[in-house]
Amino acid sequence: MPPDRDRPDPRRTATPRRARELRRALTPTEVILWDKLRDRQLGGYKFRRQQPLGPFYADFYCAEAKLAVELDGDTHVGREAADAARTAFFASEGVVVIRFWNPEVYDNLDGVLAAVHAACAERAADPDPHWAARAARGEPHGGLPCPPNRAGGDLTTNSSGAAEW
């Protein structure tokens, strides 16, 4: 029987339409994490949610670091082989995957964010170049350590509480 030509073959590529559907239907855990990753709040790194990568969708993806963040809940129990295939595909594309169980996000959000930030800092060449200027103006950055600037200095606060290099 020939494939239905009106429907894309899900084994070939992820579609932007399906990605939009997934973005509209985030799980409660994804909403919590997305609230902390969006708008370059995590050290200036840009994340996308439900990013199509080949035939799969990454829950959250940072292109600068080629890092996929996956949240696993009850639906992943018994799907270890499928998750391993997805991770193997991402690795073949040079994308590193870090996974967290949903309870980790609920119980230890700061630890999850620190792990994601560390992975980005390790893999990315340079985060958002305007991030340091925004941090110096006191704009929020997720409360995590700032990445070093190009000269190797760290962002600190002066006696009045303003951020400075």
Poorest-pLDDT segment among 62-66, 69-73, 79-83? 79-83
DSSP state string for 95-110: -EEEEEEHHHHHH-HH
pLDDT tens column, 100-151: 999 999 999 999 999 999 999 998 865 555 555 555 666 655 444 444 433 3
Domains of the chain, residue spans: 16-125
| Structural fold of domain 16-125 | Endonuclease; Chain A (3.40.960)
* Amino acid making up residue 33: L
Q: At what angle do helices 28-37 and 109-123 cross, to 10 degrees?
A: 50
Q: What is the pTM of this model?
A: 0.66
Q: Per residue in 35-46, pLDDT tens?
A: 999 999 999 999
121 vs 142: CA distance, rounded Å: 15
